[in-house]
Chain A
């Protein structure tokens, strides 16, 4: 009954839908501006933590590094603990063997991928 737009090229489809996305953003912004009252009340408060002023916190916003370490330590603590136990034993040999095994694995993976791509390229020629 209604038209269906078949866009065979995935890139063209992405571009079309991105254009629609922008149109939706514009429409939503107009809708929001129309709904918003002319005089908007805004109250500026002090930042506080558990009733204390902002002088008790060392930095006002969390640094990206802080967030990274929070995620690593709290939520991926199993991997973190594993790394500490395997690598940070105090022995340089442990560290070297850990790093070498990882780099070795990466080298093997890269060689394998290169070989696979080459074989694939030869096969489809």
Chain B
């Protein structure tokens, strides 16, 4: 009974739905605030202390107050359903990290992680967009589809490096939980630190592309194609799309923090040092993405695809080095 209650609380509150959405909206706040500062603006300032509740208020306003603007080919209910499915797939994987009070792990569980994050989240975003069709939506979606062809393989290969390293010494093999708890030890060995650094570089590029931050803001390409895949979104559908996008960013950043950077370890999650280490690493990853976002303009699609190809090559290189080192 106690176990079932714990599972239910993990799904709904921590680190499930409520925590994941809160983390996602905080991430949006942090990116907006830092971007504002980098551009000599205030950033969000009015709602909550130092404007921290602004993204939450924005979403609440879209869901509760704003009207839904549709045309006769729109299917807003279907769009909302896909939005919810996407957010749910982002929250499920949080139960595979050591952060969760109840952790699910097993042999080769990273494949389940990939199934939820690399298939369900992009698919939900695409189907959500196609449920509200329009000429600019179609362009945005086709651009996003061509992104996926390189972005997801690059992410897959980049997280394979830490998984392969830890699987050599710890079991169960290729487990998200076991890798998160042990990968920090391998940063001290120069032979394994090199492939880890390469996979970190590749994963940061993928984070930028998944978040669709500059220079990868091509599928939404504001002004050029209005708002790309989200042109036809309004009211509650736009609110859910914003949450889905932020959940994707937060889950990718958490993955980098745990699988490559080692989370709070060697400290415990429950210790002050552990919490501080975890928060610092998370904020550093998001800060890096924000600085890149503000330092670059928008690339053309073929330029962006070339960068993603380089990210894939770097990830493959790190995998090859890992195989050589582990022999």
Contacts and interface: CB of A to CB of B under 8 A. Distances in A.
B64 to A, nearest CB: 5
A57 B68 CA distance: 24
Given A41-B68, A43-B68, A71-B145, A16 B84 contact: no
Interface string B237-274: 00010000000000000000000000000000010000
A80 B54 CA distance: 47
Summarize B's interface: helix, strand, loop or mixed: helix
B80 interface: yes
Contact of B84 (A6, A28, A60, A75): A28
B3 to A, nearest CB: 6
Contacts of A6: 105-106, 172
B44 interface: no
A125 interface: no
A4 B177 contact: yes
24 contacts: A1-B270, A10-B112, A13-B112, A17-B92, A17-B96, A17-B116, A20-B104, A25-B84, A27-B16, A35-B60, A36-B236, A37-B65, A42-B67, A42-B68, A43-B67, A44-B70, A44-B71, A45-B70, A46-B71, A66-B138, A67-B145, A71-B145, A71-B146, A75-B305
A8 B107 contact: yes
A36 B103 contact: no
A32 B82 CA distance: 13
Contacts, number: 146
A17 B67 contact: no
A31 interface: yes
Given A9-B106, A61-B133, A24 B88 contact: yes
B91 interface: yes
Interface string A25-68: 10111011001110011111111010000000100111000110
Most buried by A among B84, B106, B141: B106
A5 B104 contact: yes
Contacts of A76: 146
Closest 9 CB pairs of A and B: A24-B88, A41-B67, A75-B146, A7-B106, A62-B138, A13-B106, A47-B71, A4-B103, A25-B88
Interface of A: 1-10, 12-14, 16-17, 20-21, 23-25, 27-29, 31-32, 35-37, 40-47, 49, 57, 60-62, 66-67, 70-71, 74-76
